[in-house]
Amino acid sequence: MSSTERSSGPGPGGKVARAALGLIVVAAAAGVVTYRIGLWRPSGPADPPAKVRPVAEPVAATGKTVTILAAGAILPGPEVWDQARRDGGGIFDFAPMMAGAKKTVSAADLALCHLGTPLAAEGPFSGPPRYVAPAGVAKAIADTGFDGCATASEDALDRGPAGLARTLDALDQAKVGHSGTYKSKAQSQKPRLYTANGVKVAHLSYTLTLNGGKLPAERDWSVARATEEKVRNDARDARQAGASIVVVSIDWGSETEHEPDVDQQELARAIATMDDVDVVFGFGAHVVQPAERIGDKWVLYGLGDFLSRHPQPVNGNREGTMMRVTFSAGEQGDGWKVRAVEALPTFIDLNPGIRVVDLEQALADPGVPAGRRRIYEAAVDRIESHVLNRGAAGTVLKVRATSR
């Protein structure tokens, strides 16, 4: 039907029929009053000028520094593989999903990820509750700028010792370091060392649970389990191997819970007494958890997810943090000290495609539509509240991308 139709004859009673989109006709005794309310346009009114949040200045520190960045969990389930297949035109390509964080990740002196699933070169792939994902994830991890990954997780043995070995092979092929799972006892006894800006850094990785499974007694070395004794001994060995900085990654916590549970808190307090450990990065809850300074040690209980798509996606499991820790040499020659901790919020876009969003970079972009900008701003506010929930406000820890 056209937007306006008029009868061609006088008709009974001299009535005139009108059907006009955007017109309201009000009959009154004195005549007919017409109000024009305008046509709806699909584009809607123009968005107001974007209120960008500029990228903050880098942390200022005197002398030589080392920046270590850890990102949240990489948990590639079925929807993530499907997106990779679409992005690759039928061949798995996971790099476009992570590309939004590449600038920040690659700028760190040492960038570490947490790989939460086994990998395999060929299918069938599965998950959840038992995961195995395409080996192309490893190449995307390298392309994004990560130097290494923690591989000790509750799902590390979902495909048994063979699946564990295939995962490490895929990371080796992509030239990505790894810590926490091992193909041999000899490998498990050697700490993973990196050189970051000329400084040796050890990365130790552990998990509290194994998806309901148990390690065979003859292979109890294949996945590093998080106990106070093991962390203490491994950190000591790392120092003896030449590490100037020792960072620990732990898969722990109650899923979907923003507060650290009792097991997390007890182990965190034990690790905080260890002279050989400098900082703890936590994973496993799949939501952001607080940062807490215990004595002179920083425990970052939960970084959330970096890349995932849960069966029931909600704000909590789409939000994460990249934690960037800046070390500088002690003024009294007493080793490397934490000078700054920065939480860089991330978000997982699901539409029109799955994409990791570096929220600081996104909110500095005036081209981000107003509606999406509001979603990102709300995510930053929630992430900030979780990170600062255990007394970290007013310390050397800062949450970036906020309005302040």
Q: What is the pLDDT of residue 63?
A: 86
- The residue among 181 and 44 whose pLDDT is bigger is 181
Q: From CA 360, how far away is CA 54, in angstroms rounded?
A: 8
For residue 399, name the pLDDT band (cuts at 50, 70, 90): very high
Burial of 297 (C-beta count, 10 Å sphere; 0-12/13-18/19+):
buried
- 293: pLDDT strictly greater than 60: yes
**Percentage of residues in the chain having pLDDT higher than 90:** 80
* Domain limits, the chain: 65-399
- 36: pLDDT strictly greater than 70: no
- The residue among 125 and 39 whose pLDDT is bigger is 125
Query: How do beta strands 305-308 and 297-300 pair?
Result: unpaired
In tens, the pLDDT along 3-29 reads 333 333 444 344 333 333 333 333 333
- 57: pLDDT strictly greater than 80: yes
Q: What is the CATH number of domain 65-399?
A: 3.60.21.10
Q: From CA 397, how far away is CA 378, in angstroms rounded?
A: 20
**Chain-wide mean pLDDT for the chain?**
89
In tens, the pLDDT along 75-107 reads 999 999 999 999 999 999 999 999 999 999 999
- The residue among 184 and 27 whose pLDDT is bigger is 184
Q: What is the pLDDT of residue 47?
A: 60
Amino acid at 309: R
SS (H, E, C) the chain: CCCCCCCCCCCHHHCCCCCCCCEEEEEECCEEEEEECCCCCCCCCCCCCCCCCCCCCCCCCCCCEEEEEEEEEEECCHHHHHHHHHHCCCCCCCHHHHHHHHHHHHHCCEEEEEECCCEECCCCCECCCCCEEECHHHHHHHHHCCCEEECCCCCCCCCHHHHHHHHHHHHHHCCCEEECECCCHHHHCCCEEEEECCEEEEEEEEECCCCCCCCCHHHCCCECECCHHHHHHHHHHHHHCCCCEEEEEEECCCCCCCCCCHHHHHHHHHHCCCCCCCEEEEECCCCECCEEEECCEEEECCEEEEEECCCCCCHHHHEEEEEEEEEEECCCCCCEEEEEEEEEEEEEECCCCCEEEEHHHHHCCCCCCHHHHHHHHHHHHHHHHHHCCCCCCCCCEEECCCCC
In tens, the pLDDT along 228-262 reads 999 999 999 999 999 999 999 999 999 999 999 99
